[in-house]
């Protein structure tokens, strides 16, 4: 079988335009790899994808649409009309989406081909994908290590080269941390950049959908087509710009900040050293890099816990066993239906968060915890904004360590929050933030660098990310599955 | 209700209280487990109490965009489609357990 799927998007597009291949050939390549290599990356496959690919043969391949006929994987908390949308939970195991999410409208408008819905942590709550009701996806770099999460299946599907593109969602690092663990490029765009209509809500003031790809250019290109105002999501904004426009441009008068907190003792020394190598490389290229202190930066985890759990308890109140999803079969009364549906329908991680979230929002506690957290969050955002008034971007490790052994944090309710200790700031401030691979540790596991920018300044992030990617020129095929 | 002051774990009543708020049923094993796990989580978020309070009233909004007051456009979804995922239904109605005694 040919290996078009491993070529760059531009090359695949050219081959489609010239008629050397058809969309169905690309789909078959993807399905072949998925079937031969069980990485448990998908929860549901799109059984109509071949039919949809053949349907595209009736159309002329548009020369200006890079995404025509390209296979894509979608995280299973994003609605695709007619397909199951389980959020990797038993409570939604039989739930069929009855409309397309805003991003899916755009994916379909560009004639991308949805291969399937990817595995994840239950309701995106977790950082290893181990809370999935459908089992943990396999990290293709090392099967004994966690794939990261919550967008673990999306990251694995791109890292294993099962698909060239995927969509994930990020509430507190859920795109960037698995991207880092899998050696791929993952962007959490600015809050409001991409419509959340049809994304199953976890923490509405933090959630954002974003692209996960093999390289920086393809990431920027994918964001180009999934962003924009959607009348069905009040928080989305109109943006009409090309995110690739600064890629390849010189880093003239560029200033980058590294918060001292990002290189604290809790960060693994191999990860820290790799980030310091990047600092050195940038300085050699006349980029000014300063170590800085940022007010409240160490509070992000606590703010995240309060805000995310509070909002989750409210958002997940809708799962009551009455209107959709799993329903306890033989309840004594209505109250019993609620209690038992939620007792048996949700997993442990989700139940813990809903309970603590309900406590946070009950009576006076709402003021003591949630309101106060929102006030400190506002202060934290201002502290970061102050840095952005002096520096173009902030950089640091995407995760404090590389992918670690499976089951290591199973019984610790705080474990997964600590995994995202370095990446939650972007969600707190609504800032865009990318994770790109910058090398490997001594065990050949990928290390990720996060690049954080001011609100709606994704283009500058892509500029630096692409510069670093080019300088390093890493071989990232280590996660690719066998043919 | 305050939970877990100066204790190693929550009391049984405290766990039952938060589970009731969350409408989540509990087994005996769950209660034992959550007495420890929820205590750990609440201790963590309690660290926010060490931060000084703010004096001024605060307007909370998740985003800085100017958002319209109406709910915007919502897709029309056919009744049949909505009913597709309903666990128990009769005709076009959603069936729920009896709430009032005869």
Of A154, A207, A199, A162, nearest to A181 by C-alpha is: A154
CB–CB contact A232 B67 (8 Å): no
Q: Which residues of A touch B41 (CB under 8 A)?
A: 305, 352, 356, 413-414
Backbone angles phi, psi at A197, to 5 degrees: -60, 125
Q: Which residues of B touch A94 (CB under 8 A)?
A: 85
Helix (H) or strand (E) holding B38: helix B28-45
**Is residue A427 within 8 Å of A172, Cβ to Cβ?**
yes
Angle at A417 between CA A415 and CA A422, to 5 degrees: 120
- Residues A367-378 have a mean pLDDT of 92
- Please report the ipTM that was assigned to this predicted complex: 0.91
Q: Which of B44, B73, B85 sits opposite A95 (nearest CB)?
A: B85
Q: Which of A309, A356, A375 sits opposite B54 (nearest CB)?
A: A375
Range with the lowest mean pLDDT among A395-399, A464-468, B67-71, B98-102? B67-71
CB–CB contact B75 A99 (8 Å): yes
Q: Which residues of A431-443 are buried (b: 16+ CB within 10 A; e: fewer)?
A: bbbbbbbbbbbee
CB–CB contact A430 B51 (8 Å): no
Task: Express each pLDDT in A221-231 by its tens digit.
Answer: 999 999 999 99
- Residues A460-482 have a mean pLDDT of 94
Quickly state the pLDDT bin for B68 (edges 50, 70, 90): low
What local confidence, expressed as pLDDT, does residue A240 receive?
83
What local confidence, expressed as pLDDT, does residue A420 receive?
87
What local confidence, expressed as pLDDT, does residue A297 receive?
95
Q: How far apart are CA A353 and CA A363, in angstroms?
A: 18
**Is residue A208 within 8 Å of A194, Cβ to Cβ?**
yes
Report the residue of chain A nearest B42, measured CA to CA.
A356
- Residue A92, classed as helix, strand or coil, is helix
What local confidence, expressed as pLDDT, does residue B4 receive?
59
Q: Which residues of A touch B51 (CB under 8 A)?
A: 299, 372, 376
Which residue of B22, B25, B37, B55 to mutate against A (max A Cβ within 10 Å)?
B22
Quickly state the pLDDT bin for A337 (edges 50, 70, 90): very high
Packed helices A216-226 and A9-18: angle between N→C axes, nearest 10 degrees: 70
Report the residue of chain B nearest A100, measured CA to CA.
B75
Which residue of A314, A413, A430 to mutate against B (max B Cβ within 10 Å)?
A413
pLDDT at residue A1 is higher than 60: no
CB–CB contact B21 A355 (8 Å): yes
Taking CB atoms and an 8 Å cut-off, how many pairs form between chains A and B?
156
**Is residue A72 within 8 Å of A154, Cβ to Cβ?**
no
Q: How far apart are CA A378 and CA A381, in angstroms?
A: 5
Q: What is the mean pLDDT of chain A?
A: 96
Q: Which residues of B touch A382 (CB under 8 A)?
A: none
Tokens of B96: 């729920």
Q: How far apart are CA A430 and CA A422, in angstroms?
A: 15
Report the residue of chain B nearest A84, measured CA to CA.
B85
Q: Which residues of A touch B63 (CB under 8 A)?
A: 191-192, 205, 235, 430
Task: Express each pLDDT in A269-301 by its tens digit.
Answer: 999 999 999 999 999 999 999 999 999 999 999
CB–CB contact A342 B25 (8 Å): yes
Q: Tokens 């989750």 label which residue? A: A312
What local confidence, expressed as pLDDT, does residue A239 receive?
81
- Residues A192-218 have a mean pLDDT of 97
Cis upstream peptide for A150 (omega within 30°): yes
Residues 6+ positions from A232 with CB-CB distance below 8 Å = A102, A195, A197, B72, B73, B74, B75
pLDDT at residue B58 is higher than 80: no
Tokens of B33: 């487990």
Backbone angles phi, psi at A405, to 5 degrees: -60, 145
Quickly state the pLDDT bin for A355 (edges 50, 70, 90): very high
Which residue of B62, B75, B81 to mutate against A (max A Cβ within 10 Å)?
B62
Q: How far apart are CA A131 and CA A107, in angstroms?
A: 28
What local confidence, expressed as pLDDT, does residue B73 receive?
67
CB–CB contact A306 B45 (8 Å): yes
Residues 6+ positions from B74 with CB-CB distance below 8 Å = A232
Catalytic residues of A: 75, 150, 174
pTM for the full model? 0.96
What local confidence, expressed as pLDDT, does residue B72 receive?
61
**Is residue A267 within 8 Å of A397, Cβ to Cβ?**
yes
Instruction: For residue A231, give how far its alpha carbon lies from the nearest alpha carbon of chain B (Å).
Output: 5
Report the residue of chain A nearest B67, measured CA to CA.
A234
CB–CB contact A99 B53 (8 Å): no
Q: Which of A206, A358, A374 sits opposite B22 (nearest CB)?
A: A358
Helices (H), A227-295: 269-284
What local confidence, expressed as pLDDT, does residue A411 receive?
73
**Is residue A171 within 8 Å of A124, Cβ to Cβ?**
yes
CB–CB contact B23 A338 (8 Å): yes
Task: Express each pLDDT in A241-272 by its tens digit.
Answer: 999 999 999 999 999 999 999 999 999 999 99
**Is residue A437 within 8 Å of A474, Cβ to Cβ?**
yes
Quickly state the pLDDT bin for A72 (edges 50, 70, 90): very high
Report the residue of chain A nearest B35, measured CA to CA.
A352
* Bridge-based pairing state of the strands B93-94 and A209-213: unpaired
């Amino acid at each position: 079988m040919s290996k078009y799927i491993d070529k760059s998007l531009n090359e695949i597009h050219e081959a489609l335009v010239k008629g050397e291949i058809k969309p169905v050939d690309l789909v078959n390549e993807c399905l072949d790899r998925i079937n031969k290599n069980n990485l448990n990356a998908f929860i549901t496959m799109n059984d109509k994808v071949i039919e949809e690919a053949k349907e595209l043969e009736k159309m002329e391949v548009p020369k200006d649409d890079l995404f025509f006929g390209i296979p894509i994987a979608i995280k299973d908390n994003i609605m695709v009309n007619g397909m199951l949308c389980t959020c990797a939970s038993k409570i939604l195991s039989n739930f069929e989406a009855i409309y397309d999410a805003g991003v899916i409208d755009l994916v379909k408008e560009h004639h991308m081909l949805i291969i399937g819905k990817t595995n994840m942590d239950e309701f995106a709550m977790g950082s290893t994908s181990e809370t999935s009701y459908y089992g943990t996806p396999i990290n293709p770099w090392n099967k004994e290590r966690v794939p990261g999460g919550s967008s673990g299946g999306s990251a694995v599907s791109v890292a294993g080269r099962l698909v060239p593109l995927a969509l994930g969602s990020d509430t507190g690092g859920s795109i960037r941390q698995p991207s880092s663990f899998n050696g791929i490029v993952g962007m959490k765009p600015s809050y409001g950049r991409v419509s959340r209509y049809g994304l199953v809500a976890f923490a509405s003031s933090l959630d954002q959908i974003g692209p996960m790809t093999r390289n920086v250019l393809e990431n920027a290109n994918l964001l180009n087509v999934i962003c924009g105002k959607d009348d069905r999501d009040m928080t989305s904004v109109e943006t009409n710009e090309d995110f690739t426009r600064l890629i390849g441009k010189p880093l003239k008068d560029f200033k980058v900040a590294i918060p001292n907190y990002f290189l604290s003792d809790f960060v693994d020394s191999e990860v820290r050293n790799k980030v310091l190598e990047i600092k050195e490389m940038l300085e050699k290229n006349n980029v000014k890099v300063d170590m800085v202190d940022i007010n409240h930066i160490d509070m992000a985890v606590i703010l995240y816990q309060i805000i995310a759990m509070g909002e989750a308890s409210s958002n997940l109140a809708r799962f009551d066993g009455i209107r959709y999803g799993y329903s306890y079969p033989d309840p004594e009364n209505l109250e019993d239906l609620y209690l038992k549906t939620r007792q048996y329908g949700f997993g442990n991680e989700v139940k813990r968060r809903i309970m603590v979230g309900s406590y946070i929002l009950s009576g006076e506690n709402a003021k003591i915890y949630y309101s106060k957290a929102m006030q400190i969050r506002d202060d934290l955002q201002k502290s970061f904004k102050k840095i952005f008034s002096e520096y173009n971007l902030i950089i640091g490790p995407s995760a404090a360590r590389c992918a670690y052994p499976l089951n290591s944090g199973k019984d610790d309710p705080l474990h997964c929050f600590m995994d995202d200790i370095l990446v939650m700031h972007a969600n707190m401030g609504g800032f865009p933030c990318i994770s790109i691979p910058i090398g490997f540790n001594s065990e050949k596991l990928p290390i990720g660098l996060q690049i954080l920018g001011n609100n709606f300044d994704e283009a500058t992030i892509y500029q630096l990310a692409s510069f670093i990617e080019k300088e390093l020129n890493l071989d990232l095929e280590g996660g690719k599955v066998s043919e | 209700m305050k939970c877990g002051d100066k204790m190693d774990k929550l009391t049984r009543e405290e766990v039952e209280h938060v589970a009731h708020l969350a409408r989540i049923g509990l087994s005996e094993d769950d209660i034992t487990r959550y007495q420890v796990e929820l205590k750990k989580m609440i201790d963590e978020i309690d660290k926010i109490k060490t931060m000084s309070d703010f004096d001024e009233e605060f307007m909370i909004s998740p985003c800085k965009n100017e958002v319209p007051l109406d709910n915007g456009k919502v897709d029309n979804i056919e009744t049949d489609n909505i009913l597709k995922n309903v666990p128990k239904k009769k005709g076009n109605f959603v069936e729920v357990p009896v709430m009032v005694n005869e």
